Amino acid sequence: MNPIISFVSQLIGLLTIVSQFLILAIFYLLMARDQKRLTWISKYGLGAALVVALSSIFGSHFYSDIAGFPPCELCWLQRLTMYVLVIVLSLAVWRKSVRLINSILPLLGFGVVVAAYQSLLQYNVISGSICDILNTAVSCSKRYVFEFGYITIPLMSLTAFVLMFLFVYLSKSGGKSHN
């Protein structure tokens, strides 16, 4: 693999690990009902989700446009969802509106489902996919990246969607943990 592609893949892999730890930390704060920190996260949640979405788009374009990894049908679904999220999150941040969250959460849920499904395909937990059914040129189960022994491109996407979901959910709830 090209050294630049390898370096960027490792960097994105590290960012994925940091994001996964952040997800765990947010779950811990929710379980501990740490209102002070949850309220702080909720205050900046929409902006943080926008940063994650923009980073995801740059990452996906790096892999397709620079590394030359062709996106499959499931990758396109995730990418298109991310484009829409960037637009809606930008509007929500710009207008300082949490009302748009009701349209953001279903998009994030869709992204989580598609990314989780593709991750399961790439880890060989399930077999067969929409790419097989449609007989597309690019396989949804082909791994182009496998950093740190477990991070694939769909897992990067899944991590981003889950992290954004938590940020947006906390923005909607105002940081209040629920029973």
| Domain residue extents for the chain | 3-173
Q: Which of 146, 122, 167 is nearest to 22 (CA)?
A: 167
Asked if 113 contacts 98 with a C-beta cutoff of 8 angstroms, the reply is: no
- In this prediction, residue 179 carries a pLDDT of 40
Q: Is the pLDDT of residue 176 over 80?
A: no
Dihedral sign for Cα 165, 24, 48, 7, please: negative
Confidence band for 169, pLDDT divided at 50, 70 and 90: very high
Determine contact, residues 158/119, Cβ cutoff 8 Å. Answer: yes
Q: What residue type is assigned to position 16 of the chain?
A: T
CB 19 within 8 A of CB 123: no
Number of H helices, E strands in the chain: 6, 0
Region of 68 on the Ramachandran plot (φ > 0 left; ψ -120 to 50 alpha; else beta): left
* Residue 129 in this model has a pLDDT that exceeds 80: no
The predicted model gives 69-73 an average pLDDT of: 91
**83 vs 57: CA distance, rounded Å:** 7
| pLDDT value of position 37 | 87
Which one has a higher pLDDT value, 148 or 38?
148
In the chain, what percentage of residues exceed pLDDT 70?
Answer: 93
State the pLDDT confidence band at 133, using cuts at 50, 70 and 90.
low
Instruction: Give the pTM.
Output: 0.92
pLDDT in tens, 102-118: 889 999 999 999 999 99
